[in-house]
A and B are shown apart, each in its own frame.
Chain A
Amino acid sequence: MNPEPRTSQALNALTVAFLALTLAFLLDLWGRPLALTEIPPVDPQFTNTATVRLSIADQIAAGADPSDWDCYICHDRKKPPQLRFDENQNLLIPEEHEDIQLHHGSHNRNNNCFNCHNENNLDLLQTRDGRELKLAESTPLCGSCHGPTYRDWEAGAHGRANGHWHDSFGPRLRQACVACHDPHAPAFPQQKVGPGPYPLRPVDIPTAHPQPPH
């Protein structure tokens, strides 16, 4: 018999506790890593640096046929086209131009083609102060009405820029108004939204199926 039964009991208990701990550690009862749910890759459209639309100049540079913008293939040079309006003074767009959605300005009063196009030479644009511009060089035309925005654009505060933040490092590519705005409906179009952040813990991801403990 051990003369000190309490010591003996304590030692026995310690041994059992240590063996239990050994088992627990080996089975990894805690600290088992959560299985990470693979987050799907992001659609490349969300990292594309292209502008939301292509201007005429961009399309011609990309190899489009310039004759697509030759108005006098259909129109007659000697006969300026006549605009037709309905009883509410809304412009009736002829079916040959039905791809044009005219929403320039929320008031819907800027609905006259010849506010911007030159009715006597449809291949040209015309500012309200009488300057004539080519179709592919429309930026000063926009600026002739949108003065503050044009001023900001010239200073670099409006519109996209790519390239270099100072000319000493390399070129800075500025975009024309019509690279982002449809001149017939210039409000910036709604865009698809990129995927939002996933929760940090995989079990918090709603679609995730945490692996059963094994």
Chain B
Amino acid sequence: MGDPQPTPPHPPTASPRALTRRSFLRASAVFGGGLAALAAALAPLRHLDDFPTLDQFLQKYYRELTPAEMERILRRIEAEVEREYGVRPQVRDVKPLTGVEYVYAHNLTRCIGCRRCVHACVAENNLSRTPEVQYIRVLRLPHGSLDMEKADHNYAPEWVPEPDHFYMPVQCQQCRNPPCVKVCPVHATWQETDGLTVIDYDWCIGCRYCAAACPYWARHFNFTRPSIPKGQLNPDMAYLGNRPRRQGVMEKCHFCIQRTRVGRYPACLEVCPTGARKFGNILDPESEVSYILKHKRVFIQLKEELGTSPRFYYYFDV
């Protein structure tokens, strides 16, 4: 047999796949550059300061909470608000009253467009001041039409009312058939038995589908962290109502749930200098709103052709 041929020494350019110093450095440069780019892209995360605590993270859906769990959450929210605003609030979970369905009636003849309802609402419901979140939008319309194309909400005369115009505040209409509830992918908003459509701010994922679905422009999104000056916080709070919201959640008018479910009038009604706003229980035949719907010229539910059937009625004095 022939003597075995010695294995030839590894040729320096044997295989193109072989790891050379040069190809290693090159691959490292690409890999390192990619990592650096990723790290830089994620750098803004360093400024994130409102990570949820474990309790917040594991909090359950509002409608699955037991009373004991709710109680614990309310106390936790009180502590969180106190830490941030220096005021100890009273946060309650006010349940709907039986035999009550809330209805709003607005007198277009009396409204003068002074926007006091807008600002009373901001103060009552702890809405963000910068940037502004306002539940009520007052439209100014020329006499003789209800053409929303002619509506203006930026009117700024010194004195109101102006001649030849009427005013129409629009807020959440508390529809009987609410499109915002239908589109919510996580059921963070729903209609309660007293007709109020509410939001669990801790369950909202901020997708804004409801804002797109609402034909009344009534849903408002917290694009930034809401800012409320210290000392202007309203400490009378409800879980589904005016407790401070986080960035990235939806909010809207809830007929001042923290007031109306304990029998008080909403803030926008109490501040109205003309008494154009009327509120009450439609199931009570003796209530003011029942009288109005029976006897006054209630001419519309806004955009009634959409079939949303609002609980907010506009009427005229005759």
Contacts and interface: CB of A to CB of B under 8 A. Distances in A.
B partners with A = yes
16 contacts: A18-B33, A21-B40, A26-B40, A39-B130, A41-B129, A42-B119, A46-B116, A52-B273, A156-B287, A156-B288, A157-B296, A165-B260, A180-B274, A191-B114, A194-B118, A194-B119
Query: Closest 10 interchain pairs by CB?
Result: A169-B263, A18-B33, A25-B40, A194-B115, A156-B288, A21-B37, A160-B275, A190-B159, A22-B36, A191-B114
B67 interface: no
B153 to A, nearest CB: 6
A212 B41 CA distance: 23
Contacts of A160: 272-275
Interface of B: 13, 16, 22-23, 26-27, 29-30, 33-34, 36-37, 39-41, 43-44, 110, 112-116, 118-120, 122-123, 129-132, 134, 137, 153-161, 223-224, 229, 232, 260, 262-265, 269-275, 278-281, 284, 287-288, 291-292, 295-296, 317-318
A74 interface: no
Contacts of A169: 262-264
A48 to B, nearest CB: 7
A168 interface: yes
Contacts of B40: 21-26
A2 B288 contact: no
A213 interface: no
B143 to A, nearest CB: 17
Contacts of B262: 169
Contacts, number: 187
Given A11-B30, A18-B30, A193 B41 contact: no
A47 B30 contact: no
Interface residues of A, number: 63
Given A3-B13, A39-B129, A164-B263, 5 more contacts: A4-B16, A25-B40, A156-B288, A157-B292, A169-B263
Contacts of B112: 188, 190-191
A178 B115 CA distance: 23
Contacts of A163: 264-265
A134 B33 CA distance: 90
A108 interface: no
A161 interface: yes
A36 interface: yes
Contacts of B273: 51-52, 160, 180, 191
State the majority secondary structure of interface residues on A.
Answer: loop
Contacts of A166: 263, 280-281, 284, 287
B113 to A, nearest CB: 7
B33 A22 contact: yes
Contact of A155 (B16, B130, B291): B291
Given A157-B295, A200-B223, A18 B37 contact: yes
B280 A196 contact: no
A31 B278 contact: no
A19 interface: yes
A8 B30 CA distance: 11
Contacts of B291: 155-157
A175 B272 CA distance: 13
B275 A158 contact: yes
Nearest to B105: A157
A198 B129 CA distance: 10
A4 B23 CA distance: 11
A36 B40 CA distance: 25
A196 B280 CA distance: 28
Given A18-B30, A21-B41, A39-B129, A46 B115 contact: yes
A159 interface: yes
Contacts of A165: 260, 263-265, 279-281, 287-288
A192 B34 contact: no
User: Which of A4, A196, A202 has the largest number of chain B CB atoms within 10 A?
Assistant: A196
